[in-house]
Amino acid sequence: MNAAVVNSASGGAQFVFWLLAALTIFFAGFTMTRRNPVTAVMSLVATFFCLAGLYATLEAHFLAILQVLVYAGAIMVLFIFVVMILNREEVSPVSLRAVKLVGLAAGVYLLAKFVHVADVGVPAAGVVPETYGTVGSIGDLLFRDFLYPFEAISLLLLVAIVGGVVVSRSHQKEVDADRAAAARKEVEERQLHDYPLHDELAAGDDDAHGAAAHGGGHH
């Protein structure tokens, strides 16, 4: 793709960009406004597919594939599993507070500023080499200049795996043990409490019997 095409953007490329941009925003908004988590997850998958298309228009081919594989594939499957475990619809989905509204307003203000900066200070897209964004050139960069960050991220993933297992592990055995201990204690206390109560009841019974017998005798 030469500079003229990139800068003035051919009609086809423009159409693809606007289509993907509109779909991305639509599906992202749809995700955030759905009550049903399953619908939200599905439209998030659609968002990620549109984003993969946008990455491809930026000639980030490797990242586009990765987006589909990792996001639309792996991460979304994780989300769907969790939705399956706890499928609950919200009663009141939105929590509105003044502070949050102020935060959103600040975000919109930041957007205005950002648009201004983006208009002024970003260099125009130039010519890129043929191999730009391919697996080969990214891999070259990743394993040469960014080897330590790459290793660090693998360590992070390992920690995340272990952390995930530890956090979501079932504590049912411990809970059961606690509950059993509490129940045992309660039974013991009740027994201590019950013996005098039992005697009282027995005495009351005797009285009643006596009264009844007395009444009977009177009759």
Partner 1 sequence: MPTSYYLVLSFVLFLIGTGGVLLRRNTLIVLMGIELQLNGGNLAMLAFARALGDEKGHVFAFLIIALAAAEAAVGLAILVGLFRGRQTVNLDEATLMKR
Complex with partner 1: residue 129 or 217, whichever CB lies closer: 129
95 phi/psi in degrees, rounded to 5:
-110, 105
The amino acid sitting at 152 is A
Residue located via tokens 């960014």: 146
How far apart are CB 62 and partner 1 at their closest, in Å? 7
How far apart are CB 90 and partner 1 at their closest, in Å? 5
How far apart are CB 6 and partner 1 at their closest, in Å? 8
The amino acid sitting at 150 is F
Instruction: Give the separation between CA 159 and CA 140, rounded to whole angstroms.
Output: 26
Complex with partner 1: residue 144 or 219, whichever CB lies closer: 144
Residue located via tokens 């959103």: 104
How far apart are CB 2 and partner 1 at their closest, in Å? 13
What residues have CB less than 8 Å from 23, skipping those under 6 apart? 46, 50
Complex with partner 1: residue 88 or 219, whichever CB lies closer: 88
Complex with partner 1: residue 12 or 215, whichever CB lies closer: 12
